Every structure is written in structure tokens, then in C-alpha cells.
Chains A and B, each alone.
Chain A
């Protein structure tokens, strides 16, 4: 891929976010935050000895 091709490609019109992409982002963040909260709770009740 030449420099010019790359520049042209990166300037191409934006592809809108599809519903499936929004779902992927949303579910990832939702599950991630929930798991981190759960782990933090476990961390709190099982302190390092």
C-alpha cells in the first residue's frame, strides 16, 4: 500500500456505526464494568493475607 493510497483510504467517508457494533461496544462495557465491580467486591471481602 503506497503512502498516497493509505492517505486516500484514511480520508474516505466515514462508515456509520452499525447496530451490531453498538451492541458489541455496549455489551463489552456492560459486562466489563459488572465483572470489575464483582471482582472489587471479592477483593474487599478476601483481603490479601
Chain B
């Protein structure tokens, strides 16, 4: 149950909380990175990992200015910086700083070790040319972003085989915080990517609107009907469940539970399901996308955004999908520009997130005025829309606008380098997200809590309806649209 409680804790803050912290950290990192535009490199010490066969040569600082630090020095500097900033954040959120610092140390070491393993040439090398370059006769061809999968599996092993250790780590297991920081950072990266092809980028934005309609108006209604009519769930269970499957997972289930005045346990139990199924999707869907959709890269990206629930799992799965699809295209001699697939996945997810508050208000209005009418009960108020608005989206928009303005203002290669340094931290927060999601996912809890019937609704809806309709809509709106080629 601890993972569900953690999920609830992570999804609750629609006030200043994790969202506000994510915006502060994300914008702070970007500002420090942008100082390099004026000739002073403040973040070049961040650690980066190259595909390796000799582990001694794997790690290094992202900027040549800090090459003297060496791999170990860059890793230590990155760890200390993150420890200080996130411990201060934990204090601001009212957490136990000492517990957080100790737990975060283990989380960082295990998560980055997973990333390191994922960058081993036997795991990461993709093309025969790569294999020849690294002198390996075979490889799993997962790209170096296969490290995300390794981090997820490491977390799953801890959650399912070492539950006491998983519980001990929980103070630093904050996937929602980590992914929100990453999404804020992603705003600038997407802006720099989009600035070169503004017409294409705006066309993709227009197509992203379909995702909002699909999630709220199509998915929700069908899943609610299935839960109520086929599985006989009460309204109190069916509404959060429909939001969890249809919209953006944990946050939507919590928001809906609050809107219809459900008991807190209902949203907690639904959230635990959301996390488990999101992990299953992350382990399966990117590889299906690579196998069947590599000729339509943006269809694959939009599909991942629509099918994978929870922001963390979806955006991170978008990153893996981009690596896998681009690697397959590269093996066929097509070099797509990186960044476009993850931009589409993130846009789809952020567009869906924006309307959580509006949807929660509509449900609250219907429930308090027509379904659960109590004379003295508090009625739905429009202020709930803002209260439930995911504030980290504002950070994403701010970094996107800043990045776009600088790119269009002619900041050029220097800006790309600066955003690249910020992007190094985005990757580290992705790694922490994957590891954390794994640690929260104890598959045995499903049966212990008697959630089989809830899981059945989720399974039927997700794999019988949501991913297929998502695929059709993604195909309808993104088929034939290709990312720009390199050069």
C-alpha cells in the first residue's frame, strides 16, 4: 500500500508543493545553463555517459571546460549538487531532510549505476557500424537510453524482492517531482528543436488538440460505462478508475476522487493500479512502436503519449521510443533529427494535463448537483479549476517561450550548447524517475489488496480499447508526417 500512498502524496499538490518546486528547480537549472551564452560555463561539470567497452572511459563532464574533473569528479559534482538542491526542496516540502539525503544517496547511486550498465556497448550499440566501432560481435541494441529500462528493472527488483529496502528508500522515491523537473527542462529543449522548423512544430501542436478530445470525451465515457455496466462498480469507484485509465493516471484519479467527494482510499487504490499498469506499458509499448511504427515515427510518439498513463511513465517512454525508432531508422540509412518524437509525446501529455482542473470541475458539478445531492454539502466552485491545475505546466511553457525567443533571436549554436547542458540534467531526472517508478511497483500488492476486479477493468479498458483507439487517432492525425532529417 505504501506505493499507493506515495503516489497519492505525489499527486496531491496542486497548491505550491512539488509542482512549485519542480518549476523552481527546472527554471533555475536552465538559467544557470543560459549564463554560458555570456561566456561563463556554470553547469559544464554535469556528468554524462558515453557508450563504453572500457568502463574507465565511460563517464565525463558534459563540457570540455571541465574535462579536468574526470568522470569520477563530474559524477561526484553532479551528485553533490543534486543532493543539496533536492534536500533543500525536501525541507521546503516539509520532509525529513536527513532521511531524504541518505535515501537519495542510495537512489542516485543505484539509478546512475543502472544508466551506466545501460550504456555498455553490449546493451546499447545499435547498428553493425556501432558494433564494429566498439569491437562487439552482438548487442541488445537498446541504444544508450536502454539505461532507463535497466533503471526501471532495478527498481522493480528492489520493490518485489527487497520490500523493506524499498520502504526505507521511500523518502527519496518521488517520481512525480523528478519527471516534473524534467518536463520543465524539456520545454527549452523542445523550443530549440522546434525553432528550426516552426511551421512543422505549429502543425504538430494543432494535431495535439485531438489528444485532449480523445482522453476526456471518448476514453473517459467508454471506460466509465465499462466499469459501471459490465463490471458493476459503484459511481464512487468507477469515476476515479475511468480518469486513471483515460487521462493522466495518478493525478487524474486523485483529482476525480476529490471532485466527486470519494473516500481517499478509493483514489489510493486506483493509483496503485495506475502505477503497475504504467510500468507494464513502459516495458512493452516502446518496443512495439519500434517494431511496427518505425516508418511513422510521429504516430509512434503520439500513440505513446495517449496510451501510457502517468506523466512520468509517458514522457519517459517517449524518450525510449525516440531512441529505439531513430536507431532503427538510422540502421536503414535514415537520420532523423532527435527531439521531435519526445516533443510530440510531451505535447500530447501536457495538453491532456492542462484540462484536469476543468474536467474535475465538470464532474464535481454533476455529482454535487445531480448525483450525490446533500442540502448542506459544499457545491462545486469554479476556483477548483485553478486549484487542480498542474502548475508545473507553467514552468514548461515558460522555458519553452524563453528558449523559442532566444532561438529566434539568433542565439544559435551557443544556445544549443547551453540547452544541451540543461538537457543533461533532464536525462538524470528521467533516470531517477524510471528507478523511482520501479521501486513503487510491487506487483504482489495487487492480489493482496483484492484488487483483481479493478485490475480487470483496467486491463480490458487499456489493452482492449485505449491503446487501439489511441493508435487509430494517432494514425489519423500524424500519419505521413516525418521529423526533419539531420543536415
Chain A residues with a Cβ under 8 A of chain B? 1, 3-4, 6-7, 9-10, 12, 14-15, 17-18, 20-21, 24-26, 28-29, 31-33, 35-36, 39-40, 42-43, 46, 48-49
How many chain B residues touch A (CB < 8 A): the figure is: 41
> Considering the chains assembled together, what is the distance between the CA atoms of A4 and B450 in angstroms?
8
Cβ 8 A contact of A29, one of B217, B265, B448? B217
Q: Is the Cβ of A35 less than 8 Å from the Cβ of B221?
A: no
Q: Is the Cβ of A40 less than 8 Å from the Cβ of B476?
A: yes
| Interchain residue pairs with CB less than 8 A apart (26) | A4-B450, A6-B451, A10-B454, A14-B232, A15-B228, A20-B366, A20-B371, A21-B228, A24-B366, A25-B225, A26-B221, A29-B218, A29-B221, A31-B217, A33-B218, A35-B217, A36-B218, A39-B207, A39-B210, A42-B206, A43-B206, A43-B476, A46-B206, A48-B203, A48-B481, A49-B203
A44 smallest CB distance to B (angstroms)? 10
User: Which residues of chain B are near A12, meaning CB under 8 Å?
Assistant: 234
Which of B222-267 touch A at CB < 8 Å?
222, 224-225, 228-229, 232-235, 237, 265
| B194 at interface by CB-CB < 8 Å | no
Q: Is the Cβ of B450 less than 8 Å from the Cβ of A3?
A: yes
| B449 at interface by CB-CB < 8 Å | yes
Residue of A nearest to B268 (CB): A1
Q: Is the Cβ of B450 less than 8 Å from the Cβ of A6?
A: yes
User: Which residues of chain A are near B232, meaning CB under 8 Å?
Assistant: 14
Cβ 8 A contact of A49, one of B199, B449, B454? B199
Cβ 8 A contact of A24, one of B200, B221, B448, B450? B221
Given contacts A10-B453, A20-B370, contact A28 B229 (CB under 8 A): no
> Considering the chains assembled together, what is the distance between the CA atoms of A15 and B473 in angstroms?
33
Q: Is the Cβ of B229 less than 8 Å from the Cβ of A17?
A: yes
> Considering the chains assembled together, what is the distance between the CA atoms of A43 and B199 in angstroms?
14
Q: Is the Cβ of B217 less than 8 Å from the Cβ of A7?
A: no
B350 smallest CB distance to A (angstroms)? 18
Decide if the interface of chain B is mainly helix, strand, loop or mixed: helix
User: Which residues of chain B are near A32, meaning CB under 8 Å?
Assistant: 213-214, 216-218, 221
Q: Is the Cβ of A25 less than 8 Å from the Cβ of B221?
A: yes
Residue of B nearest to A13 (CB): B232
| B325 at interface by CB-CB < 8 Å | no
A17 smallest CB distance to B (angstroms)? 6
Residue of B nearest to A18 (CB): B371
Which of B163-209 touch A at CB < 8 Å?
199-200, 203-204, 206-207, 209
A24 smallest CB distance to B (angstroms)? 6
> Considering the chains assembled together, what is the distance between the CA atoms of A28 and B232 in angstroms?
21
> Considering the chains assembled together, what is the distance between the CA atoms of A24 and B367 in angstroms?
11
